[in-house]
A = this chain, B = another copy of it.
Amino acid sequence: MRIFFFALVLIFSQTNGRSLPKEIDCQLPDSLKTEIHGYQNFVNFILKHVVKGPEANQTYNELAKFTDTFGSRIAGSTNLERAIDYMLTLLYNEHLDNVHAEAAEVPHWVRGKESAELIYPRQKMVALLGLGGSVGTPKDGIIGELLVVNSFDELKAKADQVPGKIVVYNEPWIDYPTSVKYRQFGAAEAAKLGAVASLIRSIAPYSINSPHTGWQDYEDGVKQIPTACITIEDAEMFRRMAERGMRHSLISIYLYIYYAQVHMVQAMIIMVVLVSGHLDSWDVGQGAMDDGGGAFISWRSLVILKRLGLRPRRTLRVALWTGEEEGIWGGQAYFNAHKHEKDYFSIVMESDIGTFKPLGLTYSGKNKDAQCIIQEVLKLFKGINATQLQITNEGPDIGVWENAGVPGASLINQNEKYFYYHHSEGDTMTVEDPYYLDLCTAFWTATSYIFADLKDMLPR
């Protein structure tokens, strides 16, 4: 059996605006506290070993080699298939146990050529990226008049103007979960009112003329219209033009989409603490940040422990998911194949919101004692100021396990600029820092080891 897995980054990937919980009043038994504190030397050793010792810079170097060689890795692509084979070989050569891939079905959506050009009141090329799952335009493209709205409410208020128009959403950046609804549902909402296409202002807080792609969801029974994201700069300009009374701006859009439906792809798992990230990426940039970093600190954790001959009480598995970007296809397939094992998983972990300076962990379970244990474990990382605990669901691919009652955790990191690069050509090795990758690797290695090694599983 071979699988890869994945998850809907749309809803989960956002730490902004989340408030830190107050440290709760914990009543852990002294024996458990002593057990946890006993790992302090181990933590210190791993930090030194990874950050200043023989493993220093290796996560960065491995990630750079991987992303430079394979580039972007959208589900179903040859790039991803080659990347999976490469990882299987690499992990096999590191003598990890039970290196294998499992099968998952994923959509295979392929961007062809695309372009957009403002043709009235003046000529201007408009940078754009078709959105994942979008249909293409006719061969000669679409020429239409723009209707700019800042919200779904404004769209509805202008319903009589929508038929035949190309709707531009110039929604403000608030935070990812709030603003991404325009990317996700903008085409369907515009189509219901008769629009012929929709253009979405990129979901990002900052731009240097970069369009940011991502998945979008058509609605059953609603006409599927071509949809793409444009830059913040162009969306703002179209809005200003409209406000000056230029009501007849014309744009020509051309999207050529190959769309090969569901596709079998590989995935690997090494197995019952699960650490993970997704190996697939969008089809732009290098997928170095989303989620090369998360995937690489995960497999590196196991390799480092293996090289050191450190074997925790419980099995540590690494999963490198596939088809995350199109909606957690690999994550779901893995859950379907392994849900009978759910009582054996102490915790499932995924890093998918950046691997900048590590700050702590999210925890998604409801059990207060488990929260207390994680809080106590995090105190071991005072030396690198990575002691934050946030209560939330985070990793997209582990969401299905969390919903089934398995405790989940994700890496909190200093990711204020994450959405500068997210799903754009800007997601490359240039945003990655070797030292922070080392810190994340050490933190991820030590925390997953401790969870796998504690005498008792985390209470649920």
Contacts and interface: CB of A to CB of B under 8 A. Distances in A.
Contacts of A424: 208-209
B208 A240 contact: no
A241 to B, nearest CB: 6
A429 B207 CA distance: 12
Given A71-B124, A122-B71, A285 B237 contact: no
A180 interface: no
Given A207-B208, A210-B209, A421-B208, A70 B122 contact: yes
Contacts of A65: 244
Contacts of A69: 121-122
A240 B64 contact: yes
Contact of A207 (B70, B241, B430): B430
**What is the copy number of this chain in the assembly?**
2
A428 interface: yes
A102 interface: no
Interface string A198-229: 00000000011110000000000000000000
B122 A236 contact: no
Interface residues of A, number: 32
A428 B122 contact: no
Contact of A68 (B70, B237, B425, B428): B237
A287 to B, nearest CB: 13
A71 B420 CA distance: 25
Given A207-B208, A209-B428, A241 B68 contact: yes
Most B CB contacts (10 A, CB to CB) among A241, A425, A430 go to A430
Contact of A428 (B71, B121, B237, B426): B237
Interface in A59-77: 64-65, 68-71
A106 interface: no
A122 B71 CA distance: 8
Nearest to A65: B244
A304 interface: no
Contacts of A187: none
A232 interface: yes
Contacts of A193: none
Contacts of A237: 68, 286, 428-429
Interface in A175-203: none
A97 to B, nearest CB: 30
A233 interface: yes
Contacts of A244: 65, 68
A127 interface: yes
Contacts of A421: 208
A63 to B, nearest CB: 11
Most B CB contacts (10 A, CB to CB) among A65, A127, A428 go to A428
Interface string A65-92: 1001111000000010000000000000
A90 B119 CA distance: 26
A243 to B, nearest CB: 10
Nearest to A127: B425
Nearest to A124: B71
Most B CB contacts (10 A, CB to CB) among A69, A237, A429 go to A237
A124 B73 CA distance: 12
Interface of A: 64-65, 68-71, 79, 121-122, 124, 127, 207-210, 232-233, 236-237, 240-241, 244, 285-286, 420-421, 424-426, 428-430
Given A208-B426, A233-B430, 20 more contacts: A64-B240, A68-B237, A68-B241, A69-B121, A71-B124, A207-B430, A208-B208, A208-B210, A208-B420, A208-B424, A208-B425, A209-B285, A209-B424, A209-B425, A209-B426, A209-B428, A233-B428, A233-B429, A237-B286, A237-B429
